[in-house]
Structure 1
Amino acid sequence: MIKFVKTPLEGAFVVELPRYGDHRGFFSRFFCAETFKAQGLAHSMVQCNISRCSYRGTLRGLHYQTAPAPEAKFIRCTRGEICDVLVDMRPESPTYLKHYTIQLSADANQAMYIPEMCAHGYQALQDDTEVMYLTSNVYNAQYEKGLRYDDPQIGIQLPMAVTEISDKDKSWPDVLP
């Protein structure tokens, strides 16, 4: 049975995936709409993305989408290892501007559920790292927002120096003026 473990951020969960194994390997259910609905989480995932980072230290994010196109995400590292980062961007939330990090790997049976209006990104901790994630809304550049991993008001501590980052991701403004 899929287990949802609360994080310090409102509505975000580490998801422990059951693993059923034998001499052939293992089977694990990654996503079940019924199970997510029973937890009160986004259960209508409409897009699946795969991302690959060639080099350790690469940072992707931190991104989120605003209304009318906010998106929840469900992420799993399928190759290598990442430091997954989320920041609560919901002004009405008791955990507004707080962040949470977790290391996810292909070998661990964990995934991360990120609620709508939480910025998300990750740093590859190994070369040739791959991530797969589901989203509850389609990507819409018009409603995309982001923040820098080094915004001093957020205080994210990554496990290693950032070696690769897009121009867009390093140019987001400070979250608060």
Structure 2
Amino acid sequence: MFRKMLCAATLAASALPALADEIALRFMYSGHLEQRGDFSDWVPGPWLGGTFRGEDRNHDGVLELDELSMLRIQGADYLGCRQPGSHCAIDYFFYREDGTLSFRSYWDAFFDGNSYGSSFIVSGQYEIETMDHEPYFVYRYFTPQTTLSITPVPEPAAYLMLGAGLLGIGAQARRGKRRSVDAQA
């Protein structure tokens, strides 16, 4: 009986790390109106995404820029921004638990010393991408048909706990099977 209680307490204690206040989320906007030069077209697929991690330290239900520990948009790290030849800035950021996400960001880079690119994003409104070649400017506009999906980023510890739990269940089942075979003999 004591062993069962000890196992239950160990199992309950293993879930404690899951109660951490820091959250990690992935976002993806799909569908936009794209304008290149004189041509514009509706593009239905995913086009703007990233991940962020942070802790709502003031417990107001809003994750703001100063509460973030990580922010990546389109592969660029906006909090570290230490890539040679590049500059970036994030003017504001907030995420509310109801799924509201708002930010304004800027990024530019010189690639291999010759080519240049930049991106200016105001979430919910537009992205302007500049290049050093034709078409030079690409405008991507949010529309009422643009959708936003926000999903949790799985943490490695969650996979470890799942694996340990499955191993424990398998071992217990095997042990129970052995006992029933021994009891029949």
Q: TM-score range by the shorter chain?
A: under 0.3
TM-score when scaled to structure 2? 0.22
Q: Of the two, which has the highest radius of gyration?
A: 2
Higher relative contact order (CA 8 A, sep 6+): 1
Instruction: Report which of the two has the higher share of strand.
Output: 2
TM-score when scaled to structure 1? 0.22
